[in-house]
Amino acid sequence: MPIFIDEINIKNIGPISEKFGGKLVKLNLFYGGNETGKTLLTEFIMCSLFKTRGLDIRPIVGSGKIIVAGLDKNPVSFSPSSSKKFEDYQLQNTVGITTHLPQLFIVKGAKVELGTDETDKIILQRYLSGKEILDIIENRVKQVNTREANIENNEIIGKNLGDIKTRNEKRTTLKTIDTLFTDINQQYLGGDRRILENQKIETEKQLMEMENAKRFYANTISKNIEQLENTRHEIEDDVLDEISKEINVHDTKEKDHGKKGEQYNKTSQNSKNYSWVKKAEEIYNGQLRKTSSISAKKFLLIPLIIIMILAGAFSFLNLFFGVIGCLAALIVFGWFYVKGYQELLQESGKNSEIERLKEGYQSRFGQPLTDLALLKIQVEQLQQEYSQSEVLNKQLSEEETQLRESEDQISLKMNNLFGKTIEKNAWNETIKQAKEKNKKLDKEIKEEQIKLSGLNVDETDYNTEPPSLEYDKKTYEKLQSNLTEINGEIQKIDTNLNGLKNGICSITGDDPNLNWETLIQHLKQKRKEIDEEYNELTAQLVGQISVIKVLRELRKVEDKKIQEALQSDLIKKPLYDVTKRYTDFRLEGDNLFVVDPYTEFPLNQLSTGAKDQVLLALRIGFCSKLFKQDSMFLIFDDAFQHSDYKRRPLLVEKTIELVKNGWQVIYLTMDDHLKALFDEKGKALGTDYKTFTLPSTQ
Amino acid sequence: MFFFIPYQKDAVMGEVLASNAKELSQQKWILIGHGDWESGIKTSNPLEPGVYMPLCQRDIDVFKPACVFLGHIHKPFDEGYLCYPGSPCGVDISETGKRRFLVFDTKTLRTEIHQVDTNVIYFVETISILPLVDEENYLRSRIKNIIQSWGITEIEKEKVRIRIKIRGYSSDIRQLKQIVQEEFKGFTYCDGEDVDLSDVFLSDNLDLEIIAREAANKIQEIWSSGVLSPTYDDILFHALKTIYGGK
């Protein structure tokens, strides 16, 4: 069903004070002179039918309504105050033309062009696509980076520039803040530190008790060492060494004495026949000498005789002294001779004694006594032993005295040292034991000192008060280790907390010396601010990207839409209908060409008349295309007024043809010539032509 | 065992729990305390800014309470075994919705929600609109859904105090206001206010309306609004600003 204006009724519009209008037909001529309200009527129709925001139209005064048929099931009434306008019908899927609809449907004055100083393509884009408005909207998204951004899996994907960069930074900051909050939860707000502190307090308490126990233990060890040292110093090693030395000397002497005794016994034994041999040798020798003396006395006779002769001689010679001397010598020799002779007599009686000596020798030495030399050798041999024995005997006697004295001295010392009488045979053992005891004590003292040293307790810290528990090194060390570990953990937490504080301050710009509560509160505020900014920016970016995507999708079909539109019958048919020559359009670059069966011409190179016809055809085609109608209505506000008189009949004829093709035309004019032309040509339309004469103001 | 932790200035719950850890570890126990849960730490309570004896997940993990009931945050909140019953009566318009109290079953460790019969029930709503051919129906439908989501009875209706903000673009603001007033008829605006239309702008351009509708669909297609991300309405509002420009 064609869309056409069924009825126009107005009142109090400018000079039109009375009710004016009525039912419209196919071709409607509104005729009136100057200042009769034609322009106001045109603007009233424009404001009633179309959205005119942004258009240079005077405020509408007066009232009236325009009934349009074909838009809906029932005729629709439009007035300037209608909320729903012409564009709101059947245009839901078309973008970009609404601001130009009045310009399309209403040709004001000589403005037959669909655009001013615009390329053909722009005009076509305006009416056949929505590029113009798409550009305007897209240009509102200032940042190219945002225009080029995409959204994938709820993530804005784009170069890290501009708003996207700012958003990324805010998101990073938010994550940082959230991490800080997590850390706050973990490190500051959690009970871990308090647990550790409690453990520390408990461990320190136990450690203190153990420390007291340790000090007490140190004191105990110290006392023990003191006691051990006292015991140790009762008998000093040097005293023991000294007495031991004495005992050794004594023992050595005694031993030597014993050896000497043995030697003595041996020499004594060996020389036991010495006296006999000596005696025997004397006897033997005596016997032999007597025998020899006897023989010698025989030899004395001669001297005696000589002496006697000499005595005689001297006497004879009266040598008194000679005689005296001879007499004296005679007496001496005589005595010797007599004496020897007596002995010889005696010894000769003793030859049996020599025999007995020989027997005794045999029995004593196991060899026969052959001669005196043997006996003498024996004597010499035994005499050495005998002499040695005698010396030894003497020495033994002296040593015995010394040993007795030494023993008495040692015994006394031992008694003094050990407080009791120690038998001589127990001296060494006693000293050995004492030394071992000392050694043991030394060892014990050393051990205790090591223990004490290991405790590392200063003497001034010794505790004499018995502790509540017993010192246990392992427990003490374990407690120390635990305390160190706990302190380490606390220190670690504190270090982390300091790091955390610095982290918070780097976000909030606060002084790290502020308390935690204030810092956390500031961090909360900061998070809230950034979160709001982040959400706002995200909303803005997602909104803009969504719009850009919509625009892109609309653009994708833009050129195609133009080409399709130009090739559609809705556009092509009016071209031939109006021009009776051109059958087709072709768009090349920014220029529109019209095509006839033989050639093609750029629109801007056509004659004015031909161009007007093409533009009219385009206007008709655009309207048909937009509203998917073969025929609608057009309003010409003295559109042919400036055409020369030769062209006017043709234009009017074309209008009549247009009407015949089903279009409704409302033509407003003050031109009598044009009115006459319309009246003449309109006759062919019969009742489909109607003239409305605007009331004269005069 | 119920373990009550009264508020202590400058303390954290973990400290108190740690001090009683041994006793708590010996039996099943329920924590009742006054302080901030983790989320409360991140989010400021405008009435009481600061940190209030916070409790963190680690405390829960370490000391293992069977259930946790906390005070301080006025907004009701439930997260598994931890909940804020919320304030029994809204202090001001910021505390929206029906108020509640909980009955805890010590045998089943389950809570039962009971509504508090308060003198006032606050609701704050922001509705984004875009110019549609059936703008009126769209708006009426949205408002009906919102009111339905409040879950109030006819008797409770008179206790309701509302703050309504509409934002976006409309082809007829006067009609818009009328629709809002009609749909919220019977409810009382908080502090004698009226519906806030300061962010509603006139849209009389069908081209833009078409693009706006496409953009609205596109937003739903490419973006899922989560808890932390901006709402659909926020994004739509920005899209409309881009389409209509400068408002």
- pLDDT one-digit tens code per residue, A192-212: 777 788 788 889 998 899 889
Q: Show residues of chain A in contact with B224, CB under 8 Å.
A: 154
User: Over chain A, what is the mean pLDDT?
Assistant: 83
Inter-helix orientation angle A647-660/A672-682, to 10°: 40
Q: Nearest by CB to B205, from A99, A540, A544: name it.
A: A99
Q: Nearest by CB to B207, from A133, A528, A549: name it.
A: A133
Tokens of B156: 């409770």
Q: Show residues of chain B in contact with A181, CB under 8 Å.
A: 38, 41-42
Mean pLDDT of B122-148: 87
How many angstroms separate the CA atoms of B12 and B33, rounded? 11
Position A119 scores a pLDDT of 57
3-state class (DSSP) for residue A572: helix
Give contacts of A 58-97 with B, CB under 8 A.
83, 85, 87-88, 91-97
A85, A189, A528: which to substitute to probe chain B, counting the most B Cβ within 10 Å?
A189
B235, B236, B244: which to substitute to probe chain A, counting the most A Cβ within 10 Å?
B235
Nearest CA in chain A to B54: A189
A247 exposure class (CB count in 10 Å sphere: 0-12, 13-18, 19+): buried
Tokens of A660: 């015949």
Chain A to chain B Cβ contacts (< 8 Å): 187
- A48 and chain B: CB distance < 8 Å anywhere? no
Nearest CA in chain B to A154: B223
Nearest CA in chain B to A188: B12
Q: CB distance A540–B238 less than 8 Å?
A: yes
Q: Nearest by CB to B235, from A83, A198, A539: name it.
A: A539
- CA dist B183 to A75, A626, B169, B173, Å? 31, 37, 19, 15
Rounded to a whole number, what is the distance in Å from the CA of A194 to chain B's nearest CA? Answer: 5
User: Over chain B, what is the mean pLDDT?
Assistant: 85
Q: With bands split at pLDDT 50, 70 and 90, how would you rate the model's confidence at A93?
A: very low
Q: Show residues of chain A in contact with B222, CB under 8 Å.
A: 151, 542, 545-546, 549
Q: Residues B9-22, buried b or exposed e (16+ Cβ, 10 A)?
A: eeebbbbbbbeebe
Supply the DSSP symbol for A74.
S
Position A492 scores a pLDDT of 86
Q: CB distance A549–B222 less than 8 Å?
A: yes
Give contacts of B 146-205 with A, CB under 8 A.
171-172, 175, 204-205
Q: Show residues of chain B in contact with A188, CB under 8 Å.
A: 12
Q: Is the pLDDT of residue B134 over 60?
A: yes
Position A92 scores a pLDDT of 44
Q: Show residues of chain B in contact with A545, CB under 8 Å.
A: 222
Position B179 scores a pLDDT of 93
Q: Nearest by CB to B215, from A184, A198, A547: name it.
A: A547
Position A304 scores a pLDDT of 78
- A490 and chain B: CB distance < 8 Å anywhere? no
Q: CB distance B229–A538 less than 8 Å?
A: yes
Q: CB distance B222–A554 less than 8 Å?
A: no
Digit-coded pLDDT (tens) for B41-94: 566 556 666 677 888 877 888 889 999 999 888 888 888 888 988 888 887 888
Q: CB distance A190–B12 less than 8 Å?
A: yes
Q: Is the pLDDT of residue A667 over 60?
A: yes
Q: Nearest by CB to B18, from A198, A535, A554: name it.
A: A198
Q: CB distance A188–B12 less than 8 Å?
A: yes
- B29 and chain A: CB distance < 8 Å anywhere? no
Instruction: Please name the residue that has the structure tokens 């838009």.
Output: A71
CB proximity list for A33: less than 8 A, separation 6 or greater = A670, A694, A696
Supply the DSSP symbol for A13.
B
- B207 and chain A: CB distance < 8 Å anywhere? yes
Q: Is the pLDDT of residue A355 over 60?
A: yes
HSE-CB at A195 with a 13 A cutoff on CA atoms is 18
Q: Show residues of chain B in contact with A536, CB under 8 Å.
A: 230, 234
Position B56 scores a pLDDT of 80
Mean pLDDT of B110-120: 89
How many angstroms separate the CA atoms of A28 and A26, rounded? 6
Position A676 scores a pLDDT of 94
Rounded to a whole number, what is the distance in Å from the CA of A687 to chain B's nearest CA? Answer: 37
Rounded to a whole number, what is the distance in Å from the CA of A73 to chain B's nearest CA? Answer: 17
What sign does the dihedral A450-A455-A456-A459 (CA atoms) show? negative
Q: Show residues of chain A in contact with B126, CB under 8 Å.
A: none
- A488 and chain B: CB distance < 8 Å anywhere? no
Rounded to a whole number, what is the distance in Å from the CA of B162 to chain A's nearest CA? Answer: 24
Do A29 and A669 form a contact (C-beta atoms < 8 A)? yes
Q: What is the dihedral of CA A300, A305, A309, A311, to 10 degrees?
A: 50
Q: Show residues of chain B in contact with A180, CB under 8 Å.
A: none
Q: What is the dihedral of CA B101, B105, B106, B109, to 10 degrees?
A: -90
- A522 and chain B: CB distance < 8 Å anywhere? no
The domain covering A4-121+629-693 belongs, at the CATH homologous superfamily level, to: P-loop containing nucleotide triphosphate hydrolases (3.40.50.300)
- B57 and chain A: CB distance < 8 Å anywhere? yes
Q: Show residues of chain B in contact with A151, CB under 8 Å.
A: 222-223
Percent of chain B residues past pLDDT 90, beyond the cut: 26
Domain coordinates of chain A in residue numbers?
Answer: 4-121+629-693, 255-385
Nearest CA in chain B to A542: B235
- Of A68, A87, A69, A88, nearest to A78 by C-alpha is A68
Position B94 scores a pLDDT of 81
- Of A211, A201, A178, A177, nearest to A490 by C-alpha is A201
Greater model confidence, A566 or A350? A566
pTM over cut 0.95:
no
- Of B40, B15, B70, nearest to A520 by C-alpha is B40
CB proximity list for A273: less than 8 A, separation 6 or greater = A364, A365, A378, A382
Q: Is the pLDDT of residue A481 over 60?
A: yes
CB proximity list for B76: less than 8 A, separation 6 or greater = B83, B84, B85, B86, B97, B99, B100
- Domains and their CATH numbers in chain B: 2-115 (3.60.21.10), 121-244 (no CATH)
3-state class (DSSP) for residue A300: helix
Q: Show residues of chain A in contact with B51, CB under 8 Å.
A: 516-517, 520-521
Q: Show residues of chain A in contact with B19, CB under 8 Å.
A: 194, 198
- Of A576, A600, A573, A608, nearest to A113 by C-alpha is A608
CA A380, A385, A387: angle at the middle one, nearest 5? 90
Q: How far apart are the first and last CA of chain A?
A: 42
Q: What is the dihedral of CA B228, B232, B237, B238, to 10 degrees?
A: 60
Q: Is the pLDDT of residue A349 over 60?
A: no
Position A533 scores a pLDDT of 92
Do A107 and A636 form a contact (C-beta atoms < 8 A)? yes
Greater model confidence, A644 or A124? A644
Q: Show residues of chain A in contact with B22, CB under 8 Å.
A: none
Q: With bands split at pLDDT 50, 70 and 90, how would you rate the model's confidence at A299?
A: low
Question: Which of A124-128, A534-538, B48-52 shows the lowest mean pLDDT across its residues?
Answer: A124-128
What DSSP assignment string belongs to chain B? -EEEE---TT--HHHHHHHTHHHHTTS--EEEEES--HHHHHS--SSS-S--S---HHHHHHH--SEEEEES--S-EEETTEEE---SS-SSTTSBS--EEEEEETTTTEEEEEE---S-EEEEEEEEE---TTHHHHHHHHHHHHHHHHT--HHHHTTEEEEEEEEEEES-HHHHHHHHHHHTTT-EEGGG---EEEEEEE---HHHHHHHHHHHHHHHHH----SSSPPHHHHHHHHHHHHH---
3-state class (DSSP) for residue A562: helix
Q: With bands split at pLDDT 50, 70 and 90, how would you rate the model's confidence at B102?
A: very high
Supply the DSSP symbol for A59.
P
Rounded to a whole number, what is the distance in Å from the CA of A583 to chain B's nearest CA? Answer: 31
Q: Show residues of chain A in contact with B230, CB under 8 Å.
A: 535-536, 538-539, 542
Rounded to a whole number, what is the distance in Å from the CA of A555 to chain B's nearest CA? Answer: 12
Q: CB distance B42–A527 less than 8 Å?
A: yes
Q: CB distance B15–A191 less than 8 Å?
A: yes
Mean pLDDT of A63-74: 88
Instruction: Look at chain A and count its residues.
Output: 698
Q: What is the dihedral of CA A343, A349, A354, A356, to 10 degrees?
A: -140
Q: With bands split at pLDDT 50, 70 and 90, how would you rate the model's confidence at A139?
A: confident
Distance of CA B229 to the CA centre of its chain: 15
How high is the ipTM of this complex? 0.80
Q: How far apart are the first and last CA of chain B?
A: 60
- B37 and chain A: CB distance < 8 Å anywhere? no
CB proximity list for B34: less than 8 A, separation 6 or greater = B5, B6, B7, B52, B53, B70, B71, B72
How many angstroms separate the CA atoms of B187 and A453, rounded? 88
Q: Is the pLDDT of residue A297 over 60?
A: no
Q: With bands split at pLDDT 50, 70 and 90, how would you rate the model's confidence at A334?
A: confident
